[in-house]
Amino acid sequence: MNIVTEHITIKNEVLTLTNQRAIYWDSQKALILSDVHIGKTAHFRRHGIPMPDDILQKDLERLQQLVTHFKAEQLLIVGDLFHAEFNIDMSTFKNWHSQFEDLQLVLIRGNHDSLSKRLMDDFNIRVETALVSEPFIFIHEHSAKYPETFTISGHTHPGVLIKGKGKQKLKLPCYQVASNQLILPAFSLFTGLNTKSKPDGAVCYAFTDSSIFKFE
pLDDT in tens, 167-191: 778 899 999 999 999 999 999 987 7
Q: Is residue 27 part of a domain?
A: yes
Q: Residue 159 in contact with residue 195, Cβ under 8 Å?
A: yes
Residue 90 lies in a domain: yes
Which of the residue ranges 33-42, 63-72, 144-153 would you say has the lowest mean pLDDT? 33-42
Residue in 192, 174, 115, 154 with CA at minimum distance from that of residue 34 = 154
Domain-located, residue 162: no
Question: For the chain, what is the domain count?
Answer: 1
At residue 7, the 3 state secondary structure works out as strand
Q: Is residue 196 part of a domain?
A: no
Which CATH number characterizes residue 47's domain? 3.60.21
Strand ranges (DSSP E) for 51-178? 74-77, 104-108, 125-128, 131-133, 136-138, 150-153, 159-163, 169-177
Paired strand residues for 108: 128
DSSP structure string for 175-192: EEE-SSEEEPPPSSSSS-
pLDDT of residue 42: 52
What per-residue confidence (pLDDT) applies to 133?
Answer: 95
pLDDT tens column, 75-114:
999 988 885 666 677 788 888 988 998 999 999 987 766 6
For residue 48, what pLDDT band results from cuts at 50, 70 and 90? Answer: low
Identify whether 113 is part of a domain.
yes
Residue 48's H or E segment, with its range, is none
The answer to whether residue 209 sits within a structural domain is no
* Element containing residue 47 per DSSP (H, E): none
Could you tell me if residue 48 is inside a domain? yes
Q: Which domain holds residue 16?
A: 5-153+182-188
Q: CB–CB of 195/172 below 8 Å?
A: no
